[in-house]
Structure 1
């Protein structure tokens, strides 16, 4: 072959690590080992026993790359002969388990390449798949005699998973959704977590719950240093609230399973940046049934045998109109005040109504609010609601004191 082909992965160097060999002065070697470390140009002057030196080490092979990082490589084709070659075409493809990508900056051939001259190119690719990747580099050219030459080289490397992400969803009665994201560093080196954010779906607004107010300033719950050591796990919490235009549409919010996606940005050795974006996170839609009853207001503490008020919200989650009747059934501790069997009228699909009710408790302690029954007169179907909420019942003397 007339041409020589070279490929080098462009990556940040690493700090050179010294092998420490030392002893006390009274030992047989005396100060020999200490003097050798002082004379070693790679050690830090005045801190020779520090393993990390002042020199940097260039990568010796392709090594491993992590999902979300940018793969960069330098490609050089050098004319090692004493003849001029023509029509040089350099092509670089990246073969993954599912596709083959062309990474060459230009598909046009170079007219000629003189002796001792070279063609250089730098390719970049954001890695989005894990597993085995093969960089396929091919060169074709024509000699002075008109003979067409062709050769190619293969460079195999592994793409590993840098983070393990687990999510948990909690559905609140107020249609809010709480997301807990557990992120674990499964690499062998520390990570600087630059950003972990949640991009909500179009129906939600998101609030991050990963900061605390200290002396009027908002500080991260993880402190000022956001480093994640190998195999360490960190929990991030987010609260999603339905947007105003969707908040009153119970039927729509009920069926929403797509919440959004996490956007994670980190940096590793010497500032190498990586970014990982999850697929759309999905929750298990809450099963409210045809009619949903939720509490809007309820006191935390009430007096024994004294009436108190609560406000209920009744929502038609079905696709048909209902004609509802409210029945109130007393329990051993909770007694409802008012007329049972009240007609609430027709309730259209995805519509809601607010209902003020009065009740009292005859037993002290933490009591459950139970005993509400809603009957749809159209289908003669009754919906029972027990353990709606809990209230603390105390004697009037205790509350006044």
Structure 2
């Protein structure tokens, strides 16, 4: 395999996913002052910039840590990131532009707003940035492709690309069960489980019935409030069961064959 020569570009590309930061706390390694290390470990912990004065051994944080990677991305989330190009030289760089596309298994989606604008000149230590947003609608592997173009010192067009790969996963797992009553009614139980690494609030779970059935939700009290309370909070791996009663419409209720052939009951949303 031939070794390709490394090209030093005039600008640097940085990409950071925009998610909520996390508190960073010091790594606590301490001992009694009578032990062999004495106060060396304790003094080192007190000098740690991330420790809280007077509470060094409590792992309490006072600084926010920006995202260090793309992390977990789940279906239905809005993927947001900051893409920027920085001039690291001691001279202006001409005709700088950014292009970002999201490559999925089935399509390539343009993301940046800069790609429809004219290239700009970056002065010394100047930055060209763009915030992009995209609602993730496909599962599986996604690749963020970022391309930067500019005019080199030789007055020729130069460009380079960087690729950022991440996986999109399901946030919820839904399992359904059917129960047939002695009447024509059918009861549907839907179990919704949180399979993410964090807590999820279910704002609404509803069943949209087809034209062949009428649906009645059994998840509310007599006064119309949810049986799960004001907020349905699911911790990781927790689940919640919803129950619905389906009644066939009059045009098929009188014919057993039509009821048996009615396969489409609706859509859980």
Q: Is the 8 A contact 1:65 1:160 kept in 2?
A: yes
2:4 paired residue number: none
Distance of aligned partners of 1:54 and 1:212 in 2 relative to their CA distance in 1, 3 Å threshold: farther
2:267 paired residue number: 261
Superposition deviation, residue 70 in structure 1:
1.4
1:79 paired residue number: 87
Matches for 1:367-378 after TM superposition, within 5 Å = none
With 129-138 and 142-151 compared, the bigger mean Cα shift is at 142-151
Distance of aligned partners of 1:46 and 1:261 in 2 relative to their CA distance in 1, 3 Å threshold: farther
Q: Report the Cα distance in structure 1 between the residues aligned to 2:47 and 2:231, rounded to whole angstroms.
A: 36
2:156 paired residue number: 147
1:5 paired residue number: 13
1:59 aligned residue (57, 67, 75):
67
1:236-257 CA distances to partner (integer Å, 9 max, x unpaired)?
Answer: 1122345xxx423446655332
1:183 paired residue number: 192
Q: Is the 8 A contact 2:26 2:48 kept in 1?
A: no
2:122 paired residue number: 114
Q: Report the Cα distance in structure 2 between the residues aligned to 1:180 and 1:174, rounded to whole angstroms.
A: 17
Q: Report the Cα distance in structure 2 between the residues aligned to 1:260 and 1:225, rounded to whole angstroms.
A: 25
Superposition deviation, residue 137 in structure 1:
0.7
Distance of aligned partners of 1:236 and 1:47 in 2 relative to their CA distance in 1, 3 Å threshold: farther
1:231 paired residue number: 237
Are 1:133 and 2:139 an aligned pair? no
1:170 paired residue number: 179
Superposition deviation, residue 129 in structure 1:
2.3
Q: Is the 8 A contact 1:89 1:108 kept in 2?
A: no
Superposition deviation, residue 7 in structure 1:
0.8
Uncovered stretches (5+) of structure 2, i.e. residues with no partner: 1-8
Q: Report the Cα distance in structure 1 between the residues aligned to 2:250 and 2:157, rounded to whole angstroms.
A: 69
Q: Report the Cα distance in structure 1 between the residues aligned to 2:31 and 2:224, rounded to whole angstroms.
A: 50
Distance of aligned partners of 1:129 and 1:83 in 2 relative to their CA distance in 1, 3 Å threshold: same
Higher strand proportion, which one?
Answer: 1
The alignment's C-alpha RMSD in Å is 3.6
Q: Report the Cα distance in structure 2 between the residues aligned to 1:84 and 1:20, rounded to whole angstroms.
A: 46
Q: Is the 8 A contact 1:247 1:253 kept in 2?
A: no
Uncovered stretches (5+) of structure 1, i.e. residues with no partner: 264-401
Are 1:99 and 2:107 an aligned pair? yes
Structure-1-length-normalised TM-score: 0.53
1:64-115 CA distances to partner (integer Å, 9 max, x unpaired)?
Answer: 21222111111112233413412x4321111122322221225324243131
Q: Report the Cα distance in structure 1 between the residues aligned to 2:41 and 2:11, rounded to whole angstroms.
A: 49
Q: Report the Cα distance in structure 2 between the residues aligned to 1:258 and 1:106, rounded to whole angstroms.
A: 46
Q: Is the 8 A contact 1:67 1:129 kept in 2?
A: yes
Name the SS for the 1:107 alignment partner.
helix
1:298-329 CA distances to partner (integer Å, 9 max, x unpaired)?
Answer: xxxxxxxxxxxxxxxxxxxxxxxxxxxxxxxx
1:68 paired residue number: 76
What is the count of residue pairs matched by the alignment? 255
Distance of aligned partners of 1:185 and 1:114 in 2 relative to their CA distance in 1, 3 Å threshold: closer
